[in-house]
Amino acid sequence: MARPAAAAVRLLTGEREPVRLATTVDIGLSGLQRIDGTMTEVGDRVLVKDQADSTRNGIYTASAGSWFRAADARTSREMQKGTTVHVQLGAVNADRVFSFVAEAPVVGTDQIAIAPFLPPDLNGAVEDAETAAANAAAYAGQAAASATAAAASAGQTAADLAATHADVVATAASLANTQLASAASGVYPSAYTTSLPKGVTGTTGLVGGTGGANGTFALGISGGSISGAAGTFTVAGGAMTAINITNPGLGSGTTPPTLSFTASAGLTGASATAVVGNLIAAQKTYWALSTDGAYLQLYQNDGTATPAVVANAALGAKAMIDALASLTGSRIANTVPVTGTGTALANANVYFEPTSLNTFDEFVTGLSVAMSADGVVRIVVSKLEDDSTLSNVGIVSQTFNALAGVSTISGLEISKPAGCVIGIQAVSGGYPLYTTGIIPNGGSRWHSAAIPTSHTAKTVTTTNGIQWSAVLTGEVTIKARRTDAQGTAIGKGALVGWSSIVASGTNTPANYSTVQQVSAAADSYITGIQVGAGASATATVFAVKMNPDNTIADIKNATPITLINGVANLATSIALPAGYRPAITGGAYKYQANNNPTGLRVHLKSGVMAIGDTLIDSASHRFEVNFTVESGLTADAHRAIALASQAGGNTGLGLLSAADNTGVLDATAILSAAAVAHPFPYVPPGTFAVTAIPNNGKGFWGPGKVIVNGVLMSTPEKPEFGSRFLKLRAALMPQIATNSCVIINGDSISNGAYATNPRTNHVGRLTHFANMGIALDEAVLVNFDNADTSGGNAFHGLTFSNPSTPTYGTGGPVGKSLILQPAQVLTLSAAAHEKLDLTYQGVSGGQLAFAYNGTTYATVYTAATGNDVLAALGSTGQTGSGTYTITNTGSVAIEVTSLMRFGVKVAGSPPRLYVCRMAHGSYTMASFTVSRMQSMLRIATAVAGGANHLVIPALGTNDAVGTNLDYGQMRQATLDYAGRWVTAGVPVANILPIMPWRWASYGTSNFQNELGGIRQAYRELGVRRVIQTDAFDFVSEGLASDGHPNDAGFIAEFNAMVAALCDGAI
């Protein structure tokens, strides 16, 4: 049935439910077949529009047998003139909209004509563009008006954003009318699909003449192959001194028009020749109406006489409207009514809602499901692949309690990227209900036996629809809901620079640079630039950070822009971080020498800027350039328009399609090119090996794994501002700057049980990622128990000889120290170590020899007393990989409490982050006494001398599994544990807990008691953030083995740690 929230809108607008495919030729109306390059599936809605017998045209539901007309397109009224339908997929028809054009066809008797649809208001805009093709300059003005309208729309109140879908469509249509008619370089008539638009781009051979009246006059332009060009000329001292082309006109030929100067009375002997050139700069794009008048197509000046069609850039007018509506609207994805009366499922399949598929990013903000009894359900987000299978897209699944009957869950915010569908799965307790029989309106349901991983097959059926629905909301509305008193979500905008730009004055010298003296107050974007220039040229825009002494502290985000002979109005999407200023270099833009009425100050340099340069603080001249700087959703709205107009709607998807996704072949060049092509390249499922990552990984997002010289880079599940690597190090800078440590205090999971090796455990991955490009360190080891990891001491790269069996003591942070017997040798697996050290319990007469490849390089004589005493070896003096040994060359046993192994630091790289792995299997919070915590702190301080350590507790699971603590007991155990840390010397502000995770072996009540008690305790303590590993169901999601995370589960924990630290609130 039609979605309740949208039914009235569809009735009023004549819009039918979308179809999956549309035909391109006459077809047989039976059996599954390939339509427009895609195989149909049972239950697909197909627009049949090309039958030889046009009485058989219409909307059909595909079947293995005979096809039948869809329930919403069977009567004359349902296919009357003006009824529209949107096509989702297909090589030719994807994202196009078609319209029924017969007045009221009698089904089965009358011809049913179906034609491409263009909204009347947009149709009028295109006609205006064709008839006013001579006025190309006006298009830029329309673009500016459109940007202003978009900003006003983006700044609406939350109530405005909650307008009905019909209002959104109408508003979006109005915006699209202007935007599509004037995007970037303008919309050109269909004649310019085969030839580049040309115009008068300048003049040459100016002869001033004599005797003319002084002033500025209209330039006479006639003849040639260009129509509609306009300009002015200036006469001073009786002679013509300058010509200014104010409108280049439009044409496809190269014959220049004739210029005349009769408007200046008495002027004789004046002359000049018009220069005709391309209006589209090399490699730039422009819109043109398709030859069939159905939609707008993006073309590119690729250096040849004939423009090139940009791949996959055919954007139907309705699709553009839908894109804008998607940002602000909400919709309900639903196939059958949610009544609460039906038959209960009896399986753990994942049931997907096909109508949740969309070509735009959305958020799941609400859920309704009919349940047989109280239970727990999971929301799953999966990507629909080209082969109709489903894949994990990297969105963490979430579970919710659902009550018997119709249960409604609100307040959600789950990302659903473009091309993805959502599904539900019963986890425990009751099951969702289904309605027996045929799913109404030709609908279908999809399901998979488990949560999809990669290209998991789905089953499609047209019976027994599941009673559930989801509310899907656009990104702009989501951000509006997050608005706080400071307006950080809605955002703010400011014009930086001179407000009234002209293209007259003096040219700035070659590579001349100016930096505005207004810094961004928050992370922002440059969404618009106005520049006045006297000729076509290329300039570069930067984000620049200045020091108080007028020197440049940093330069980033270099972006080339194209100037014109006139005032260029450019829509851009250039990141401007907080504290940075907009700047421009080159292009010979104009300035007014010694004419600056308002005293607007800039920093300037006559040449290209570099970090460390000293700039001149000047208010002498007025420079003809300004920048629109915006933040929040105000910036998002304009950036979306800018990216669509500049890159044909490029979303960053598909940029890595040519890269090897098995991690075997080097993908560095492809990822580097992707970073240039789009600010947010998508990383698809797979593994991509690189030797370097552009901009420290900034902008890359998606479910895939990027391995940088053997180090896994954390990539977010959706685009986010900045580099995760830099944000992680910024969050941990209090530890890095003070030579302090991050202490992971946990149980067997943190100790690495069931990981392939210590580096694939989340502790190892955090250690390596935080030091990416700096050093390949190992986390400090304190647990030498051979039985406490799945691989024993060999897991940590340790072997023993003389004797080969280690002996353990009770000292150190976890009570599992190593007793190195006289003559016993500890051998470390081959590696490159810049520093190798250890701590021990004081003993008189002890002696240790440290050797590299068999050669002793240091001997340590133990102190007689003290706990966790540092051997203090200093540098190994080695840079290459080799085998290190530690031998007890004395006559007494030595108790080792920690082992420190740090890789060779890259010369000139930033300081490293030190990480300590202080964990033991089966330990609870109570296992860690004050004395053990003090031992941890002694060892952490011994590492590099600092004392400002960050503690990341990863405890609680064993408390719930082993001792079955209830909510109150778990809360008290957590408060006591944190209190012991405070007693040991760590403030609560330096505690960032990892939440415990759900074991398969204990029930929901245990987990709720555990999680509830722990979270409540940390709230009472004022802990600001937690690491949400409790958001995963490790067992059901295939992230665990034998009660512990596997390597995939450790990656999930690692990403959760990084995300929490990068949140910005730490």
pLDDT tens-digit map of 511-521: 899 999 988 88
Least confident of 118-132, 609-623, 725-739, 1026-1040: 118-132
Average pLDDT value for residue range 619-633: 86
Least confident of 45-54, 167-176, 217-226, 954-963: 167-176
Q: Which pLDDT value is given to residue 136?
A: 29
Q: Which pLDDT value is given to residue 321?
A: 41
Q: Which pLDDT value is given to residue 912?
A: 95
Comparing 888 with 305, which gets the higher pLDDT?
888
Q: Cα–Cα distances in Å, from 464 out to 40, 332, 344, 447?
A: 21, 20, 11, 12
Average pLDDT value for residue range 324-330: 55
pLDDT tens digits, 361-420: 788 888 889 999 999 999 999 988 877 889 888 787 888 888 888 888 877 888 888 788
Nearest Cα to Cα of residue 365 among 198, 489, 204, 477? 477
Q: Which pLDDT value is given to residue 155?
A: 34
Q: Does residue 7 have a pLDDT over 80?
A: no
Comparing 679 with 1050, which gets the higher pLDDT?
1050
Comparing 74 with 297, which gets the higher pLDDT?
74
Comparing 188 with 1054, which gets the higher pLDDT?
1054
Confidence grade of residue 536 (pLDDT, cut at 50, 70, 90):
confident
Q: What percent of the chain has pLDDT over 90?
A: 39
Q: Which pLDDT value is given to residue 644?
A: 47
Q: Does residue 458 have a pLDDT over 50?
A: yes
Q: Does residue 63 have a pLDDT over 50?
A: yes
Average pLDDT value for residue range 71-84: 82
Confidence grade of residue 296 (pLDDT, cut at 50, 70, 90):
low
Q: Which pLDDT value is given to residue 451?
A: 93
Q: Does residue 1000 have a pLDDT over 80?
A: no
What are the residue ranges of helices labelled H in 628-721? 632-647, 668-677
The dihedral built from the CA positions of residue 224, 225, 228 and 233, taken in this order, carries a sign that is negative
Q: Which pLDDT value is given to residue 791?
A: 58
Confidence grade of residue 309 (pLDDT, cut at 50, 70, 90):
low
Q: Does residue 967 have a pLDDT over 50?
A: yes
Nearest Cα to Cα of residue 887 among 858, 845, 924, 918? 858
Q: Which pLDDT value is given to residue 109?
A: 83
Are 415 and 381 in contact by the 8 Å Cβ rule? The answer is yes
Average pLDDT value for residue range 974-994: 93
The residue behind tokens 């340099």 is: 605
Q: Does residue 926 have a pLDDT over 80?
A: yes
Comparing 298 with 774, which gets the higher pLDDT?
774
Q: Strand, coil or helix: what is 936?
A: helix
Average pLDDT value for residue range 51-79: 85
pLDDT tens digits, 640-677: 555 544 443 445 677 787 888 888 889 999 999 888 87
Average pLDDT value for residue range 538-563: 90
Least confident of 154-168, 261-275, 714-728: 154-168
Q: Which pLDDT value is given to residue 475?
A: 64
Q: Which pLDDT value is given to residue 639?
A: 63
Confidence grade of residue 878 (pLDDT, cut at 50, 70, 90):
very high
Confidence grade of residue 1031 (pLDDT, cut at 50, 70, 90):
confident
Q: Which pLDDT value is given to residue 295?
A: 53
Least confident of 84-88, 489-493, 759-763, 1054-1058: 489-493
Q: Does residue 281 have a pLDDT over 80?
A: no
Least confident of 80-84, 267-271, 281-285, 307-311: 307-311
Q: Which pLDDT value is given to residue 271?
A: 94
Are 366 and 414 in contact by the 8 Å Cβ rule? The answer is no
Confidence grade of residue 258 (pLDDT, cut at 50, 70, 90):
very high
Q: Which pLDDT value is given to residue 145?
A: 32
| Phi, psi (rounded to 5 degrees) for 780 | -60, 135
The token duo for 311 is 């791949």
pLDDT tens digits, 337-354: 888 899 999 999 999 998
Q: What is the dihedral of CA 828, 829, 835, 836, to 10 degrees?
A: -10
Q: Which pLDDT value is given to residue 335?
A: 81
pLDDT tens digits, 408-449: 887 788 888 878 899 999 999 999 999 999 887 677 889 999
Comparing 478 with 818, which gets the higher pLDDT?
818
Q: Does residue 130 have a pLDDT over 60?
A: no
Query: Against a cut of 0.85, is the pTM above it?
Result: no
Average pLDDT value for residue range 141-168: 31
Q: Which pLDDT value is given to residue 1010?
A: 77
Confidence grade of residue 688 (pLDDT, cut at 50, 70, 90):
very high
| Phi, psi (rounded to 5 degrees) for 1065 | -100, 0
Q: Does residue 1003 have a pLDDT over 80?
A: no
Q: Which pLDDT value is given to residue 933?
A: 96
Spell out the long-range contacts of 495-500 with Cβ–Cβ below 8 A and sequence spacing 24 or more: 495/626, 495/627, 495/628, 495/629, 496/581, 496/582, 496/626, 496/627, 496/628, 496/629, 497/530, 497/582, 497/600, 497/623, 497/625, 497/626, 497/627, 498/600, 498/622, 498/623, 498/624, 498/625, 498/626, 499/626
The whole-chain average pLDDT of the chain stands at 81
Q: Which pLDDT value is given to residue 326?
A: 53
Q: Which pLDDT value is given to residue 1006?
A: 66
The token duo for 846 is 């002890």
**What is the amino acid identity at position 91?**
A
pLDDT tens digits, 519-535: 888 888 888 899 999 98
Nearest Cα to Cα of residue 955 among 749, 666, 802, 650? 749
Q: Which pLDDT value is given to residue 424?
A: 95
Q: Which pLDDT value is given to residue 479?
A: 56
pLDDT tens digits, 181-209: 333 234 677 778 888 888 888 888 999 99
Q: Does residue 543 have a pLDDT over 80?
A: yes
CA distance linking residue 941 with residue 740, whole number of Å: 7
DSSP 288-317: EE-TTSSSEEEEE--SSSSPEEPTT--B-H
Q: Which pLDDT value is given to residue 272?
A: 93
Nearest Cα to Cα of residue 627 among 488, 721, 520? 520
Confidence grade of residue 292 (pLDDT, cut at 50, 70, 90):
low
Q: Strand, coil or helix: what is 114?
A: strand
Q: Which pLDDT value is given to residue 328?
A: 53
Q: Cα–Cα distances in Å, from 907 out to 732, 773, 912, 1065?
A: 21, 10, 12, 32
